[in-house]
Structure 1
Amino acid sequence: MAVQVQTTGWIGFGFSPNGGMTGSDVVIGWDHYAFSYELPRLDISQDWILLNATEDVGYTVLEFMRDFQTCDLQDDRAITFGDTVHIIYCYHVIDPEDNTVIQLHNVRGTRTVNLFGQMNYKPPLSDAQFLDLRNNRVNIPPDGTSYICTAIEIPQNIRNQTHYVVKYGAVITPESKRHVLHILVHLCEGLDYTGHPSINISHICDEFPEELNMCRTSVIIAGWAVGGEDFVFPEEVAFPIGGDDKVHTHFVLEMRYDNPNFIPDIIDSSGMRLYYVKQPRQFNSSMISVGYLTRPQMVIPPRVDRYTVYGYCSKRCTAAHLPEDGVTIFSNLFHTHVIGVYLKLRHIRNGKELPPIDANLHHDSAFQQHTAIPLVKVLPGDELILECGYNSSNRGFTTFGGESTREETCLAFISYYPATPVTACASITNLASYHQWLMEFVPEENHQAIIESLANKDPVAAEPLFNSLNWTVDNHQIFQQVGRDGEQLMYCFTPTVVSGGFVLPDLPPIITEPLWEHEVCGSGVSPVYNFYFTTICLFAILLSIICN
C-alpha cells in the first residue's frame, strides 16, 4: 500500500468506522490508534510495517503493508472483501519533532471506497457508441421522496439489429446531484408502445399509465445508487438489446429523488448512459433482484441497534428458470435506505450452506455501488438468503418497508450470465406466521387491526399500532425470529409477457450442514467471512491522495 501527498511534512492515514477520527486505525509514519479527536496514542501491537519512505519534488510517499486480519481486536479493523471502507487522511507541511510532538494537521479529509470489489474490467471500448436515457427537465416534486418514470423509445438502428451493452453509468445534473438517490433502467421485453401518447413524458411512477407500468416488471438492464461508479462488464460478457423490431422497442427510466426540505423548482435532467457495441460476446448477461419485497410487511422495531430482516429466493424459482449447468454471478449491488448497516447474501445447496456470495459488514447507504465478486455458480434448486441488518437505535418510531427515505428496503441486484427469464426472486413473511407473536405481545383488541393494516399495505394505519407496543428485547427478538423461520410467500417474477412467474407459500431453507466457521484469531471474532482474507498482505493496493 502506498500513500502519496504533496507535502514535505508528516502524513496521517487510516481506516475509520464512519469517516471520523474516533475509533480509527491510523498510521502517521508510525502505527497509531485514535480514541478521540486528539493525538492518537501509540498502538501496543505494531501491525503496520513501513517498507519505504521518500520525499522528492515536494511530495512525500509512504509505502507499507498490513495483514487483512491482524487479530488486534482492540485497536485494528479487519479488512474484508466487499466491505465499505472509510479512509481518512491528514497532513502537515512540517515534520514532527518526534512521536509525542506532532503538530495539528493543516489539511484533513475522508474518502469512502471498496478496496477489493471495484469494477476494474477494462475491455476495449474504442468501437463503442453511447445512448443517453435522460429526463427532460423534470421538476423534482417538493414532497420528500418521489419516484419519476419515463418511457423512452429505443432508436430504430438498435431495434433493427442486436447491439450489446458493455458499460453504463449515471449522468447527473450538477445542480440537482444531492437529490438523485437511485436510477433504474428497465428493458421493456415484448411490450410495444409505439405511438403511445406518454412516450418521453415523465410521470410520478404511481401515476404511470398501467400499460407502461408493466415494463417495470421487466428485466433491469442498468442500476445505480448514490455513491456508485460506472458499471463495466467483463470482456466476455454483455447485455443484448434490440435485434427484433417488435421485441425491444422501449426503455423505462425510473428515478428516485429525495427533497426532504420541500424545495420548489429543482430542475433535473439526470439519467443513464449506455455504451454499446455491435459485436456479440461469449455470454449474454442479465440482472435479478433478490431479497425482501419492498412492502409494509417488512417491519423494523424502534430503538434496536441490530435488527435483521431475511429475504429468500426459493429453490422452486431457481429450479424452474436456471439452465441445467446453472448461472455465473459476477457482480452484486446491495441496496438499503438510511438505517441499513450490513448485508450478507448467503448460498444454500441441498441443505449445505456454501460461502457467502457477497457480504458488506460496514454498509454505507451514501455509498452503494456494484461490487465485482469472485465468480460464483448458482445451480437449479439452489436457495439464496439475503440478510439485511439495521440500526434503528436513533428512531423512536417503527420503520416499515417502502420506497421513501423514511422507510426501508432489503435488496441485492445480482448480475449474472447466461441470461434467464427470471427478473426477481424474493419473499415476504406470510402474515399467518405472526399468530403466536400476536398472542404473546399484542393486546387482543389490536390483533385484527395490525393484520389488516399489513395486508392492506397501509403503513399509515400500521405505524401507531406498532409504535404503541412495548418493544422489549424478547418482543423484537421473537418478531425477528418469525421473519427468519416462519412461513414465507415466495415470489418468482418474470416479465409480463413471459409465463413461469409464481407466488407460493413455503418455508425458509432448512440448513442441515451449516457453513464451517474457521477461527483465524482463535478468540471468537466473527469468523464466517475469514475465507476472504487469510493472512495475505496489502501489497497490491495503491492509494494516491494528492492534495494541492
Structure 2
Amino acid sequence: MEYSDIVIGGVRHGKPYILDCHGEGNWKPVVDKSQDWQLRSASENGTHTTLEVSRVFNTCDNDDLPINNDTTKFIWSIGTTDDLEHHQRRGSASVIILNPVTPPVNITESQVWEMNVKTKLPAMETTYWCTAHKSPPYTSKRHIIGFKVKLETEESRNHTHHLILHQCRASSEDLIQLYESILRTPGGLCYDDNNISNMRQACQHFIYGWAVGADPLYLPENVGVPLNEYGLPEYFLLEIHYDNPNKLPGISYETGIVAYTTTNLREHDAGVLRVGHETYPTMIIPPNTSNFVIAGHCGSYCTQSRLPNEGINVFTVFLHSHLAGRKMKLRQFRNGTELPWIAYDNHYDFNYQQNRLLPDYRNIFKGDHLTYECTDDSSNRLPPQAKKLNGTTFGIP
C-alpha cells in the first residue's frame, strides 16, 4: 500500500461518503489534505455497494497519482462494515485506464479457423517450438477480423509465454514441398531443427503476436488482415515460447490460435510493423543495474524504402519486453523534429501485455525515424560469481 493513491467510500446509515487518502505503509490509510475525488452517486443493497467517482487526470497533489496511459495496478478490499480494518476480501488487477474500449465485433457471422498445437514440454527453462499450418481451402480472398489464443487449462496459462504467427512465401515448388513435409510432423525446436530453420527463413512476415496477459484482438470495423489474396492455400509458421522455469517434467497441453475470418472484405488491409525486435549479443543488461536503457531504431532510410508512398496508419500498438523491462516508449521523428510518442508505458507489467488501441490513427510516412526505447532493471539479479553472506553481497574475482 505504500505510495498508493486511495479512495474509500460507501453508504453509512443511509448516507453516502467518500475519502481521498494515500498509503504510507501496511497500516491505516492517511487522509489527504486536498480532497480531490468527487462522489457522483452511491447505492447499496443486500449484496452490493456501488460507487461512481470522478477526478481530474492530474490534480498536482503530491498525494495523488496522475491518471495516464501507463499500466496501473489496482488494489482493492471490501469489508462487511464501514470500519477501516484488515479486510479478507481483497485483490489486485492491472489496467490501462485510458485505453479506448474495444469496438464491438460480431464474430458469430465469421468462420473460425483454428491452429492447434499439442506439445510435451522439455524439462528446460525455456523452449521455442515451431509448427507448420495451412489455411483451409478457401477459394477467394478473405479478411481475418480477430484473433484469440487458446489457453483452456491452468498449465497453458502458466507455461505459455508468447505466440507469433508468421505468414510464409510459397514462391517455389521446393518451398511448398518443405512446408508440406513439416505439416506432417508435430513440429520442432525453432532454432535447432534444420527444416524448421529453413522454413523460418521464408516466413518472415508477422501477422499476429500474443504475450502473457493479452486479451483477444478484434480489429476495427474497417480493417482486416488479408488471407488467401490469390485464391490459393497459404502456409503459416506458429512459434510458441514455452516457459518452464522450474524445469518440471511431463507437462503436456494443447494451445494455439483461433482466427475469425470473413468474405465480407473491409476497406483496409492490415499488417504488422516490428520496431526494435532484433537482439544481438552486445545487448546485455548488466546485473544489479537499474534504469538501463536500450534503444532499437527503424531509421529514415528504412521507412523510405519499405513503406508505401502514402505511408501507413497505426491503430494499435503492442509493447513487449521480458521480466527486466520497466518502461517502454515508441518515439517518432520527422524532418529532425520529434513528434508526440506513439505509445509509452512507465509502469510496464510483464503479466499484463495488452494491445493498446490508439484513440486516433497515427500516420507514419516515408522518411520518418522510429525509435523503440526500453528501460530495464536488473537490480534483483546478481552475476553468477556473486555470493551472499549475512545479507551483504561479495563479488568473487
TM-score (norm 2): 0.89
- The equivalent residue for 2:124 is 143
Instruction: Output aligned runs, 1:396-411, within 5 Å.
Output: 396-397=382-383
- The equivalent residue for 2:391 is none
Are the aligned partners of 1:119 and 1:370 in contact in 2 as well (CA < 8 Å)? no
Match of 1:94 among 68, 73, 81: 81
Residue 270 of structure 1 aligns to a residue whose secondary structure is: strand
Note the C-alpha offset of 1:197: 2.2
Note the C-alpha offset of 1:324: 2.1
Bigger mean CA deviation after superposition, 163-172 or 189-198: 189-198
C-alpha distance in structure 2 between counterparts of 1:89 and 1:52, whole Å: 19
Residue 375 of structure 2 aligns to a residue whose secondary structure is: strand
- The equivalent residue for 1:436 is none
- The equivalent residue for 2:331 is 346
Are the aligned partners of 2:203 and 2:236 in contact in 1 as well (CA < 8 Å)? no
Note the C-alpha offset of 1:303: 1.8
Instruction: Output aligned runs, 1:98-113, within 5 Å.
Output: 102-113=84-95
Compare the two structures and name the one with the higher strand fraction.
Answer: 2
C-alpha distance in structure 2 between counterparts of 1:468 and 1:241, whole Å: 57
Residues 122-167 of structure 1, C-alpha deviations (whole Å, 9 max, x = no match):
13333201111121x200111101100000122112xx31111000
- The equivalent residue for 1:127 is 109
Residue 108 of structure 2 aligns to a residue whose secondary structure is: coil
C-alpha distance in structure 2 between counterparts of 1:201 and 1:355, whole Å: 46
C-alpha distance in structure 1 between counterparts of 2:154 and 2:109, whole Å: 32
Are the aligned partners of 1:186 and 1:215 in contact in 2 as well (CA < 8 Å)? no
C-alpha distance in structure 1 between counterparts of 2:296 and 2:141, whole Å: 35
Matched, 1:164 2:143: yes
Instruction: Output aligned runs, 1:33-112, within 5 Å.
Output: 33-73=22-62, 75-81=63-69, 83-96=70-83, 102-112=84-94
C-alpha distance in structure 1 between counterparts of 2:279 and 2:235, whole Å: 25
C-alpha distance in structure 1 between counterparts of 2:309 and 2:336, whole Å: 19
Letter in 1 for 2:121: I
Residues 8-58 of structure 1, C-alpha deviations (whole Å, 9 max, x = no match):
xxxxxxxxxxxxx22211111211111111111111222111122211242
Letter in 2 for 1:331: T
- The equivalent residue for 2:226 is 240
Match of 1:309 among 270, 294, 299: 294
Residue 269 of structure 1 aligns to a residue whose secondary structure is: strand
Are the aligned partners of 1:215 and 1:252 in contact in 2 as well (CA < 8 Å)? no
Matched, 1:395 2:376: no
Are the aligned partners of 1:292 and 1:298 in contact in 2 as well (CA < 8 Å)? no
Note the C-alpha offset of 1:468: 8.9
Mark the CA change 1:294 to 1:118 in structure 2 (over 3 Å): closer, same or farther.
Answer: farther
* RMSD between superposed Cα atoms in Å: 1.9
- The equivalent residue for 1:155 is 136
Matched, 1:196 2:177: no
Letter in 2 for 1:163: R
The count of corresponding residues between Structure 1 and Structure 2 is 369
Match of 2:153 among 174, 195, 198: 174
Compare the two structures and name the one with the higher helix fraction.
Answer: 1
C-alpha distance in structure 2 between counterparts of 1:225 and 1:162, whole Å: 28
C-alpha distance in structure 2 between counterparts of 1:243 and 1:358, whole Å: 31
Note the C-alpha offset of 1:77: 1.3
C-alpha distance in structure 2 between counterparts of 1:383 and 1:325, whole Å: 16
Note the C-alpha offset of 1:391: 1.0
Instruction: Output aligned runs, 1:122-521, within 5 Å.
Output: 122-135=104-117, 137-157=118-138, 160-176=139-155, 177-191=157-171, 192-194=175-177, 196-199=180-183, 200-208=185-193, 209=195, 210-217=197-204, 219-244=205-230, 249-373=234-358, 374-397=360-383
C-alpha distance in structure 1 between counterparts of 2:161 and 2:93, whole Å: 19
Are the aligned partners of 2:311 and 2:365 in contact in 1 as well (CA < 8 Å)? yes
Residue 335 of structure 1 aligns to a residue whose secondary structure is: coil
Q: What 5-or-longer segments of structure 1 have no aligned partner?
A: 1-20, 97-101, 399-466, 470-548
TM-score (norm 1): 0.65
Are the aligned partners of 2:170 and 2:176 in contact in 1 as well (CA < 8 Å)? no
C-alpha distance in structure 1 between counterparts of 2:170 and 2:36, whole Å: 58
Bigger mean CA deviation after superposition, 249-258 or 294-303: 294-303
C-alpha distance in structure 2 between counterparts of 1:142 and 1:216, whole Å: 28
Mark the CA change 1:76 to 1:271 in structure 2 (over 3 Å): closer, same or farther.
Answer: same
Q: What 5-or-longer segments of structure 2 have no aligned partner?
A: 10-18, 385-394
Are the aligned partners of 1:168 and 1:272 in contact in 2 as well (CA < 8 Å)? yes
Residue 299 of structure 1 aligns to a residue whose secondary structure is: coil
Residue 348 of structure 1 aligns to a residue whose secondary structure is: strand
Residue 6 of structure 2 aligns to a residue whose secondary structure is: strand
Residues 385-419 of structure 1, C-alpha deviations (whole Å, 9 max, x = no match):
11100111112239xxxxxxxxxxxxxxxxxxxxx
Mark the CA change 1:356 to 1:336 in structure 2 (over 3 Å): closer, same or farther.
Answer: same
Letter in 2 for 1:84: T
Are the aligned partners of 1:318 and 1:379 in contact in 2 as well (CA < 8 Å)? yes
Mark the CA change 1:131 to 1:122 in structure 2 (over 3 Å): closer, same or farther.
Answer: same
C-alpha distance in structure 2 between counterparts of 1:145 and 1:127, whole Å: 38
C-alpha distance in structure 2 between counterparts of 1:366 and 1:26, whole Å: 23
C-alpha distance in structure 2 between counterparts of 1:126 and 1:264, whole Å: 39
Q: 4+ residue stretches of structure 1 with deviation over 6 A?
A: none
C-alpha distance in structure 1 between counterparts of 2:383 and 2:267, whole Å: 50
Letter in 2 for 1:301: P
